[in-house]
Structures are given as structure tokens and as C-alpha cells.
Amino acid sequence: MKEKYILLEDIENLGNAGDVVSVLPGYARNFLVPKKLALKASKGALRQFEARREKIETKRKTEIEKLQQIATKISELKINIPMNVGEDNKLYGSVTSYTVAQAISDLGITIDHNKLILPDTIKELGSYEVKIKLHPEVIATVNIAVVKA
């Protein structure tokens, strides 16, 4: 039987701060409540949260604006990834999300490789478009060129 909880922070695949969501009791008891990510939904908790809602909305908007600026910076980058190649311009190995994240961090912007969305496995030389999910509402696109080392 699911229980209703008020989210105190944005949780991917569940909801945004302030949403009332239904979750299994074990998930709430073992994850959401101990990490202070949610409160059990009650009239008192809803009133208490309404007082904090404006602060959370302001924080979310500033975070999104900051991430959009980073997304603009990232979109302007031209990234060359040198790789060793064999016959027929086939790569030894492949370009992974970790490789792309490392190339971006070499240019001064730190990105978690789990946030990168590669088109497919990159096993040939050429230009590719990689998406970076900085936030559920902010996705940056960067062009990478895989070149001979």
C-alpha cells in the first residue's frame, strides 16, 4: 500500500520539490525520510512546506539559470578527441562517456560522465553530437570530433 509524501528536493524519476507523491513505505522509510528528501503528507506538513516553497522555487530558478549559462558555454566548445586507429580508420577501443567527460574537464568544465548521452558506441573517426543532461530542464549539446592520434 503506497503512502503520500511531500518532496523537499527534486528527485529524478519521482518529482520536484513540493510535489505530493505516492511511494512504497519501504522506499520512504529507508531512503526519502533518512536523507531528509521528503515528509509524510499531513495538513501540518503541507502548511509547513508552503512557508518554505517560495525559498525553494527561488533556489531552483537560480540553479537553472546557472546551469543554462554552463550549457551555453559547453555548446560553444569544439572538442577534439585523439584516438589510435587501425585499418579502415577503425578505433582501437571506443570513445566512452568517460572519455568525453575527461576531454571536457581538460577545457575547464567538470562534468559527471553519467550525465552524458552518447548517440551510440563511437568506434570510428568523425564528428558526433553528444547531449549533456545537466538538469531535467537543461540539456546542453556539444560537438566532438574523433581524430587520429
* CATH number assigned to the domain comprising residue 113: 3.10.430.100
Range of the domain at 129: 72-148
- Helices first, then strands: H and E counts in the chain: 3, 9
91 shares a domain with 126: yes
Phi-psi region of 137 (alpha: psi -120 to 50; beta: other; left: phi over 0): alpha
pTM above 0.85, yes or no: no
CATH number at residue 50: 3.40.5.10
Nearest to 102 by CA among 81, 118, 121, 87: 81
* pLDDT at residue 120 in the model: 84
Mean pLDDT by 10 residues, the chain (149 residues): 90 87 95 93 84 82 92 90 86 90 90 90 90 90 91
Q: Which pLDDT does position 89 carry in this prediction?
A: 77
Q: Which of 47, 70, 93 is the last residue of a domain?
A: 70
**What pLDDT was estimated at residue 10?**
85
- Cβ contact 53:22 at 8 Å: no
What pLDDT is stored for residue 50 in this prediction?
80
- The count of structural domains within the chain is 2
Residue with cell 585499418: 87
Yes or no: say if 129 and 143 are a contact pair by the CB < 8 Å rule: yes
What CA–CA distances, in Å, run from 16 to 42, 45, 79? 18, 16, 33
CB atoms within 10 A of CB 43: 7
The reply to whether 45 and 19 lie within a common domain is yes
